[in-house]
A and B are shown apart, each in its own frame.
Chain A
Amino acid sequence: MKVIISITPRALFASATLALAAALTGCGSDPEPADPTPVVERYVEMVHDTYEDTVFGVTTLKGTVDDLTATPSEASLKAARDAWIAARPSYGESESYRFYGGPIDDEDGPEGRINAWPLDEAFIDYVEGAPEVGIINQLQSFPDITKDILISQNEKGGEKNIATGYHAVEFLLWGQDQSTTGPGARPYTDYVTDGTGTAENQDRRAQYLTLVTDILLEDLISVEVQWEPGADNYAASFAKDPKDALGKMLKGMGSLSGAELSRERMNNALQEQDQEEEHSCFSDNTHADLVANATAVQNVYLGRYGGEDGPGIDDLVAATNPDLDAQVKADLDAVLGAIDAIPQPFDQAIVSEDGRAKIQAAIDALQKVTDDIVLVAAELEVTINLEE
């Protein structure tokens, strides 16, 4: 690594503009690390903005699901699928706000209900060769489909027994993906209840889809309110200790870029060459999910979300180590470039020579970013306890 010990005029300027205590320590000419307060305040703001967008996206989705279940047709199914795809980027960009026991994934946090995967589709509905399986088709075990039932069944009896969340909705809209060129092709007639529909239990399927979308919306709102500015909530306590908050921000970034994205969401699929291991396997939306997750990491570093760029970790790093800042920015860009280069759909990329090489390159780029985050933590003298 390039070692910077001497202080630069630019670093001094940057720390001054951030209203930082630039007092020099007695043991060298380095400045104290910059005051992270404005960066933490910006983070709180963008976290709230992101969750607000997730709520907006799923509210829209909810409207299309209501249309689909009321009047099933090619058009209403397509509208619901489009709304699901449109709802995904904001959630993907929120995933760098995980991994430190915040509202999304503290002891009682809803993360396991929101985005758990990979899911065993036979836990929810019929699959090829097994028309009788799944909560929807098991009338004896589940005479009524209610929110409480779905919540209590989620993760019951195994980590793949997922009853709720984005991917449950995804499966109910697309069905199993048996295609090598496109996504799953569940017919809209799976929701037709006048006796001409396909598959069994169309009314129960519609009920399931409606309730599972409601649960998703409620869970996202429960997280959003914890980040509402000016309220007596998690955000208020989070901002009280900016240095601790900075550690959490970096831990969220590094946990997503390291273990979660590069290993669980990419390397596992690459090594197993198994569609079951791709993130959005029914809709073939995995590539967009990867982009959103990589963007999530970049967003926190830059203090940027949705085109609005505020004080970020980059400003703190630039104040004492502009070379490191430049390196991190370049490495974050490289990740997005590498993911962009992966051919679509992802479930075919994992079995093609070109696709596999490009996925490996993106994994390597993510590893570099994860290493960078450790360096940034050292630079800013914060403790991140990054487990990857």
Chain B
Amino acid sequence: MTPPLSCPPRRRLSLPASLAAAGLCSALFAACGPAEAPPPSIPQDVMSGGDTTIFDDGREAFSYPAKNLTREHKDTFFLGNTTFNRNWVQAPASVTSSDGLGPLYNATSCSACHFKDGRGAPPETDTEPMLGLLVRLSVPGEDAHGGPLAEPAYGGQFNHHSITGVPPEGSCFVEYEEIQGTYPDGEPYSLRRPKLVFADLSYGDMAPDAMTSPRVAPVMIGLGLLEAIPEADILALADEDDADGDGISGRPNFVWSAGANAAVLGRLGWKANQPNMRAQVSGAFLGDMGITSSVRPDADCTPSETACAEAPNGGDPELPDDKLDRVVLYSRTLAVPARREYDDPDVIRGKQLFEAAGCASCHVESFQTGPFEIEELSNQTIFPYTDLLLHDMGEDLADGRPDYLATGTEWRTPPLWGIGLVHVVNHHEYFLHDGRARGLEEAILWHGGEAEPSRESFRAMSAPDREALVRFLESL
């Protein structure tokens, strides 16, 4: 049967119920074939990940494959998920497919820290071991590729766990100091400043000039889309010397890529210190779990860590390429959820306030992705609210530890998409690189350096305006 020529575009199924227009002819249109066209009623910026966007605001909101993934890619995605969730065990073990943990490690699975593909949290008490938060280590200087110079005895990352027969590096705890503040309107607030406390160090004192950088596990959504933003569009936003005089001097990081054998634009990680997901994933397997791969083939033991170097491994490499490929695809294609409550008047006003306060200078709302090796992520209009550039965030947030071109006060603008669902998925609202902020309001109040004028604009707002701005963030 030939469909009638007068058929209007078929309504998409992927709309929130509130948007479902009462199409009088829908039953007829449903028979008109799979013509797809976005309905005029849904604002484009609600589809945070373009055609990859999913609609879910529940506990699994960060765990779906991109909406438009092919069937074949979805199958691979779910296989990647099993490796992502797998608990690695000490070698040798009867389950040879998942042995090779450590010898030194932070966690036994990816999902330990990225629980339900969401955000890690700092310890709740000053005696609780870290999980979802790790500490990078270095001493002044640079490695052969311009990266951080590893601490001589403990390496580039503190590993507080180890397999049997190998001493763990020690313990690390977080203590907090409360700092009182007051809004210009008289309303008080309190921020907590973290301090790292190392104990039971197994391999002697750290170097006196050792530098530390605590970093929580970020949400995993939309990472492939960030990779697919054309480099030129990111560099076009850079303004190293603040030529335009707006006080914002975004700088690109350039980091070593083993795959490219060259320094390339850094996009991922708290300091934009990873060039792509393949490097990020293989780096995390090695640094966080002690699992070697073809990209990172050597166990991470320092000269002091002799038992580490002598421990048995779980294969060479421990993570075969097919599994690495699946986890990389998985990590690139976790979908971004659509915004909620975007048509609430307070949320709309909050967005205007966000822009008026200059937040969007760094938390850049939108990009168009370019061609990408995963076709489904190509040419999408996305709303990540980041420029992927480094900004000086002031002394209060500084880790004092350079990372390639990033200075000790610079951080990469983190994406904000999905931030309003962290409390649903992960049952906490600890934000910023070390999770010090207890909620979005505190996160804003910690902004300093280039972001200080924006923070001051926020502080000067009326209480209802501050609330509206936060409600906008919660809608992302």
Chain B positions within 8 Å of A157 at CB level: 107-108, 112, 131
A122 on the B face (CB < 8 A): yes
**B79-97 residues at the A interface, CB under 8 angstroms:** 79, 81-82, 85-87, 89, 93-95, 97
A320 to B31, CA, bound (A): 12
Q: Tell me if A377 and B13 are in contact (CB < 8 A).
A: yes
Out of A158, A268, A383, A384, which one reaches B109, CB within 8 Å?
A158
Q: How far is the CB of B42 from chain A (nearest CB, A)?
A: 12
The chain A residue sitting closest to B77, CB to CB, is A263
- Nearest chain-B residue to A374 (Cβ)? B13
A267 to B131: give the CA distance in the assembly, Å: 31
0/1 string, A99-122, CB within 8 A of B gives 1? 011000111010010000000101
Measured CA separation A329–B16 after assembly (Å)? 28
**A160→B424 CA distance, assembly (Å):** 20
B312: shortest Cβ distance to chain A, in Å? 14
Docked pose: A7 CA to B54 CA in angstroms: 35
User: Which residue of chain B has the shortest Cβ distance to A109 in the bound complex?
Assistant: B59
CA distance A30 to B58 in the complex (A): 36
Q: Is A259 an interface residue (CB 8 A)?
A: yes
- Residues B97 and A274 in contact, CB atoms below 8 Å apart: yes
Which B residues touch A374, using CB under 8 A?
A: 13
| A82 in contact (CB, < 8 A) | no
Cα A277 to Cα B67 in complex, Å, equals: 24
Contact A379 B30 (CB under 8 A): yes
- Within the complex, the shortest CB–CB distance from B143 to chain A, in Å, comes to 31
Complex: how many Å from CA A320 to CA B26? Answer: 12
B86 — which chain A residues lie within 8 A by C-beta?
160
A173 to B388 alpha-carbon distance, docked (Å): 52
Pairwise interchain contact A128-B94, C-beta atoms closer than 8 A: yes
In chain A, what residue has the closest Cβ to B131? A157
Stretch touching chain B among A20-28, A230-238, A350-358: A20-28
A residues in contact with B424, CB < 8 Å: 107
Residues of B contacting A320 in the complex (Cβ-Cβ under 8 angstroms)? 27
B24 A158 Cβ-Cβ under 8 A: no
Interface size for A (C-beta < 8 A) is 56
**CB of A387 closer than 8 Å to a CB of B:** yes
Q: Are B17 and A158 in contact (CB under 8 A)?
A: no
A381–B20 CA distance with the chains assembled, in angstroms: 9
**CB–CB A25/B78 < 8 A:** no
Chain A, residues 256-292, CB within 8 Å of chain B (1/0): the string is 0001000110011001101011000000000000000
Indicate whether A381 sits within 8 Å of B112 (C-beta atoms), given known contacts A129-B94, A159-B85, A277-B82.
no
Chain B 129-144, CB within 8 Å of chain A: the 1/0 string?
0010000000000000
List A140-170 residues whose CB lies under 8 Å from chain B: 155, 157-161
**Given the complex of chains A and B, what is the CA–CA distance between A272 and B108 in angstroms?**
20
- Which B residues, 1 to 49, have Cβ-Cβ distances below 8 Å to chain A? 1, 3, 10, 13-17, 19-20, 23-28, 30-31
Residues of A within 8 A of B431 (CB): none
* Chain B residue contacts of A5, Cβ below 8 A: 1, 28, 31
Answer yes or no: B115 CB below 8 A from chain A CBs: yes
Task: Give the residues from 349 to 388 in chain A that come closer than 8 angstroms, CB to CB, to chain B.
Answer: 367, 374, 377-379, 381-388
A6 to chain B, nearest CB (A): 10
A294 CB, min distance to chain B CBs, angstroms = 18
A31 cross-chain contacts in B, Cβ below 8 A? 27
Q: Which of B334-368 contact A (CB under 8 A)?
A: 335
User: Do B74 and A263 touch (CB < 8 A)?
Assistant: yes
Contact pick for A381, options B23, B57, B94, CB 8 Å: B23
Is A385 a contact partner of B13 (Cβ separation < 8 A)? yes
Q: For the complex, what is the distance from the CA of A40 to the CA of B398, rounded to whole Å? A: 56
- Inter-chain contact B25/A28, CB cutoff 8 Å: yes
- Report A-chain residues with C-beta under 8 Å of the C-beta of B293: none
Q: CB distance A247 to B56 under 8 Å? A: no
Which A residue sits closest to B79, measured CB to CB?
A: A271
Q: Give B88 Cβ to nearest chain A Cβ, in Å.
A: 10
Q: How far is the CB of B124 from chain A (nearest CB, A)?
A: 12
Known: A28-B28, A387-B335. A247 touches B17 (CB 8 A): yes
B173 within 8 A of partner (CB): no
B369 CB-CB contact with A under 8 Å:
no
Expressed in whole angstroms, the Cα–Cα distance for A263 and B326 within the complex equals 14
For the complex formed, measure the closest distance between the CB of B112 and the CB atoms of chain A, giving whole angstroms: 4
User: Inside 8 A of A159's CB, which chain B residues have their CB?
Assistant: 85, 109, 111, 115-116
Contacts known (A27-B24, A158-B109, A263-B78); A105 close to B59, Cβ less than 8 A: yes
A33 within 8 A of B: yes
Check A259 against B58 for contact (C-beta < 8 Å): no
A158 near B108 with CB under 8 A, answer: yes
Judge if B417 is at the interface, Cβ distance under 8 Å. Answer: no
Given that A28-B25, A263-B75, A268-B82 are known contacts, is A378 also in contact with B30, CB under 8 Å in the complex?
yes
Can you name the residue of chain A whose Cβ is closest to the Cβ of B12?
A: A383
User: How near does chain B come to A151, taking the closest CB pair, in angstroms?
Assistant: 13
Q: State how many angstroms separate the Cβ of B420 from the closest Cβ of chain A.
A: 13
Is there contact, CB below 8 Å, between A3 and B335? Answer: no
Q: Is A106 a contact partner of B24 (Cβ separation < 8 A)?
A: no
B78 neighbours in A (Cβ, 8 Å) = 259, 263-264, 267-268
Q: Is B372 an interface residue (CB 8 A)?
A: no
Please indicate the chain A residues that have their CB under 8 angstroms from the CB of B82 in the complex: 268, 272, 277
A385 touches B56 (CB 8 A): yes
Docked CA distance A43–B170 (Å): 56
CA of A279 to CA of B81 in the docked complex: distance in angstroms?
15
Question: In the complex, what distance in Å separates the CA atom of A388 from the CA atom of B26?
Answer: 24
Partner-B contacts on A (CB < 8 A): 3-5, 25-28, 30-33, 100-101, 105-107, 109, 112, 120, 122-123, 128-129, 155, 157-161, 243-244, 247, 259, 263-264, 267-268, 271-272, 274, 276-277, 320, 367, 374, 377-379, 381-388
Given contacts A32-B27, A378-B10, A381-B23, 6 further A-B contacts (CB under 8 A): A25-B27, A106-B58, A129-B93, A159-B109, A385-B16, A387-B335
| Top 7 A-B residue pairs of the complex, sorted by shortest distance between their CB atoms | A385-B55, A158-B112, A159-B111, A27-B25, A158-B109, A30-B27, A263-B78
